Structure 1
Amino acid sequence: MPSSAAATTVKRLAPGLVAALAAVGLALLVHVVLPSLPAMTVAVVLGILAANLPGSSTLVSGVLRPGLHFAGKHLMRAGIVLLGLKLSLGDVLALGWITAALVVAVVLLSFAGTYWLGKLFRLAGDAPLLIATGFSICGASAIGAMAAVKGTRHQETVLPVALVTLCGTLAIGVLPLLMNPLGFDPLGFGRWVGASVHDVGQVVATAQTAGAVALSAAIVIKLTRVLLLAPMVATAGVLERRAHNRRISSADRTASLPRNSNTTTGASRPAAAAALDADSAGPAPAVKFPPVVPLFVLGFLLTIALRTLGWVSPPGLELGNFLQDVTLGGALFGLGSSVRIRELLHTGLRASGMALCAWLLIAALGYGAVRLMAGFH
């Protein structure tokens, strides 16, 4: 019986997963032909096209949907674990404590500023938190991690991913044009890109326009930002668990009120009665607490440790990087396939304006940090 259920699940998920992997292959091919286009950005765009073109939209919303939803959630987590193989604590320590402190300051200030902008623009639900996480740390990967620990619905991650892709793609075209007007040498430009651009692939595509020195500096700064993903998500997990406990405690206090108590008045009386009715019907189901640190974040920390200790061979690192491209690309195709352009134009204009303001804020913070780095060196 269990094997039959497993076979049914595989049969239901297979079409969407095959489509996602095929899209990743196409995205990687496009990147080989046009290196300036990051494969992950292409994967998102392909997903959006698949969801909105007349022929494919029916398949995306029908037989492919279960597998694409699975890819957007679970392949994203696998990709985050593999992302740790890019990180070595030795590279971060080589920056020096002043540079590392400035990078941390940029992340915290950009997170706080973007979150405040999200509230200012009255974005609903977890959108301000997800956008702030994606913009300040590492794009769609960070959005997926934060959504997991917050228990955010898959549909609510679509807009933040679309916005981080839009602004990151914009950076690829705009930032190189500003290198000379802002007086950056290749090293300074690379640091600015690493501190300001969202996704790792977008950082590489932007920085490589100024040469190897800029690319190397950008990657180290960017991966230092990525390193902050674990503590940020863990902090969100702790806060979410405390909020969950407060909600449970509040419900318990309401349920413990006596039926004829004079304090059970107004809006609280129906709630108390409902709680008592539920209690009389039998034992309540076990409460599922949100994780403080999800397993995939622990996996991310483990792969960082393996890379730092040198326990992964060069062929193993190459395989890990390839698998990371496959899993994250498949996840981003799945998320992109949830974007409906008509709905985005109807509901996302205010969010797009907020995202552009956040993009300018982070670019300005990164610029200031790079100037301070140059001053200290």
Structure 2
Amino acid sequence: MNRNRIAQLAPGIALCAAIALAAILLQRLEEHWTGRPWLEALVIAILLGTATRTFWTPGTRWVPGIGFSAKTLLEIAVMLLGASISAQAVLEAGFGLMLGIAVVVTLAIGASYALGRWLDLPWRMAVLVACGNAICGNSAIAAVAPVIGAKPQDVASSIAFTAILGVVVVLALPLLVPILDLSLTQYGVLAGLTVYAVPQVLAATMPVSAISTQLGTLVKLVRVLMLGPVVIGLSLVAGRGATEATMRLSWSRLVPWFILGFLSLAVLRSLGFIPDALLRIASPVATLLTIISMAALGLGVDLRVLGRVGGRVTLAVTLSLLVLITISLALIRLLGLP
């Protein structure tokens, strides 16, 4: 990275780091006053970032660094988390869970599409909402859009509300632990099956437990890998033009580099090639990068967008999410996860 690029990114990264530091200090104050952190720094960073964006829109000076923090730093954090996953965790998850993830994604896409059409959404919009909800939010929408020939306004509307709802899910999902009496394992699976983006799984599970974080990330990565088969399937349904669009999609779009990095570190950890000293460093570094990234995520949430997104799209995305949560809970009960 050259000096010009560093200078371009520095203001935005510094802003996100400052918000992250404030979030960490507020968590420390919580612990001092109440004896426990009712709101983790990850969540506080999102709230502070969102509050900042509500009253102030960052100018061009800040945007590159904020984008870098929200995407690249978060992807690095996810990759580092692979060092905490061993083959034993994969084996303990079991083939039934892996198969169940594929079933949940398939059912969620079908149910979400049916809801969208029932609400009179155009079929392309319904497909975007369904894939974004069932797989990985904005990434799935961006990958599917050229395959089905979606209009730019449809893509923008789908991404706008999905981004905001994704933050709401991160903040609200942990509340289901006491309400539904979920174990740490069950909650990790639920988060992996329902949270939109891989990095957001960290924000939704880290405040609960390390076990939830590890299993949630593993489940989410398997869910993301479903994007490839879904895009190929849609291309076959949509016709030749879509197939050509699919061929233009690079493997990096279907299997992002940080997922490959996560899996590589997990393999190295399982083979004993990662020293204990590095393992002890990887987790806190991943946590710090995630907090900075959550601040950036908050800075990217403009609550005023809600007023510009159509009511039918809002209702379709919300109902689709509720259906996804219901299907995921049914899978957890069916598998009898401890």
TM normalised by structure 2 equals 0.72
- The equivalent residue for 1:35 is 37
Q: Is the 8 A contact 2:50 2:299 kept in 1?
A: yes
Aligned-pair CA distance for 1:239: 6.5
**336, 358, 362: which one aligns with 2:320:** 358
Alignment of 1:223-302 (within 5 A): 223-229=217-223, 231-235=225-229, 246=241, 289-292=248-251, 293-302=255-264
1:285-331 deviation digits (Å, cap 9, x = unpaired) = xxx94312333332222122122223223332232222322333333
Among residues 330, 352, 355, which one is paired with 2:292 in the alignment? 330
Percent identity between the two aligned chains: 21
SS in 2 for 1:339: coil
Q: Retained in 2: the 8 A contact 1:112–1:132?
A: no
Change (3 A) 1:109 1:125: closer
* Aligned position for 2:276: 314
What SS class does the counterpart of residue 37 from structure 2 fall into? coil
1:69-112 deviation line (CA, Å, top 9, x unaligned): 23233223323322322322311212444455445544543455
Partner Cα distance (2:293, 2:239) in 1: 28
- Distance, in Å, in 2 between the alignment partners of 1:116 and 1:92 is 33
Segments of structure 2 that go 5 or more residues without pairing to the other structure are 31-35, 147-151, 196-200
Distance 1:145 1:85 in 2: 24
Greater gyration radius: 1
What is the CA–CA distance in structure 1 between the aligned matches of 2:263 and 2:257, rounded to whole Å? 10
CA 1:158/1:97 → structure 2, altered by over 3 Å: closer, same or farther?
same
Count of matched residue positions in the alignment of Structure 1 and Structure 2:
307
Describe the shift of the 1:30–1:10 C-alpha distance in structure 2 as closer, same or farther (beyond 3 A).
same
What's 1:274 paired with?
none
Task: Write the mapping of 1:1-377 to structure 2, written as runs, cut at 5 A.
Answer: 6-32=2-28, 33=30, 35-53=37-55, 57-58=56-57, 60-110=58-108, 112-114=110-112, 117=115, 122=121, 123=125, 126-134=128-136, 143=137, 146=140, 157=159, 159-179=161-181, 189-197=183-191, 198=195, 199-205=201-207, 216=211, 218-219=212-213, 221-229=215-223, 231-235=225-229, 246=241, 289-292=248-251, 293-347=255-309, 350-374=312-336
Structure 1 residues 23 and 298: CA distance shift in structure 2, 3 A: same
Q: How many Å apart are 1:230 and its aligned residue?
A: 5.3
Which letter maps to 2:220?
V
In the alignment, residue 51 of structure 1 is paired with which amino acid? R
TM-score (norm 1): 0.65
Q: Which residue of 2 aligns with 1:284?
A: none
RMSD, aligned CA: 3.9
Choose 86-95 or 232-241, whichever is displaced more: 232-241
* Distance in structure 2 (CA, Å) of the matches to 1:306 and 1:238: 31
Please state whether the residue corresponding to 2:250 is helix, strand or coil.
coil
Q: Which amino acid aligns with 2:131?
A: L
Q: Contact 1:103–1:224 (CA<8 Å) still a contact in 2?
A: no
